Structure formats: C-alpha cells, structure tokens
Structure 1
C-alpha cells in the first residue's frame, strides 16, 4: 500500500489481466453457473468431475477485461477443483 492524498491506496497495476475467456460449469436445470469462474477449460472440466452430473457442461464467456478479484477467484477455483478431482491438470501461470 502507498499513501495517496492522505489515504492508503493499493500499489501495483490496476490494469486487467490478459484473459479473453472465463469458463463455468453449468447445468440446464439451473439458471446460473454452478461452478466458476475458471481461467482454463481444463480446470472447469475438473469441476465437471466433482459435480458428477451427466447433464452438466463447461461453457465459455468472452470477456473484455479481468479485474484482480475475479482473476484470483478463478485461480483459486481451479486449484480447489484440481485438488478435489485428483487431477494432474497444470495450473495457469500467474504472470
């Protein structure tokens, strides 16, 4: 954190990450995504393994930009789903 105008302000870039798509696990009987966001289709497919529903599918959503909170949420979702699925899916680099 740095001080700006007498108040603490976060340091670092406010620029969005370079993702162009986010992936979600959806089900036709549910309006909203059940799992997600994910940074990769492979990570979302681990969510399919966890969900164990033949009707669930991975869907992609094209995005213009990705804020820090959503990026780290997607990173965490991928790590958790890979852990529960017991998968050897490689992580997306956090660069």
Structure 2
C-alpha cells in the first residue's frame, strides 16, 4: 500500500493518526485497545484533521522510539511487543 492510499483511509479499530507523540496515558490506552482487538497501527507525524504528513525530526527518532518502547513496557500488561517502522516521504519522516 502506498502512503497516499494509507493516509486516505479512515481511522478506526485498527488505524490511528497522530500529528505528534501523544501523552503517555493516551498512547498506552490506544496500544492496549489495539492489543485487545486484532492489532492495529499508530502513525505519528500524520495529522488527522486535516490529514497531512507533517513528519518528525530525524534527530529525535531514536529518542521517540525508545520513549514509546519504554512506555509500552512500563504501562501495558501482559507485555506487548510492538513493531516500529520509520519512513521518509518527501523529506518528512512519520513514525
């Protein structure tokens, strides 16, 4: 699926778009909700309304990835093992 097809999808039980890293409790709630259902994907760096790719700072990506992993480990039980992927779209990097 291309990024253009992805961002044209509606948010729902398995898809969330966040312009920036949500608060710890909001992110944990979404991760647990997805884990309790059939899984899901959270895209950070893509605004929901209006839907547009705003990206994240490449220098901040390692810190953001570690922060998300630690949050999921610390706040979600039983343990959830998330996958992460970075991609670059026209010089902007959503997570």
Q: Do the structures match in fold with TM over 0.5?
A: no
The structure that is helix-richer by fraction is 2
Max radius of gyration: which structure?
Answer: 1
The structure that is strand-richer by fraction is 1
TM-score interval w.r.t. the shorter chain?
0.3 to 0.5
Q: TM-score normalized by structure 1?
A: 0.35
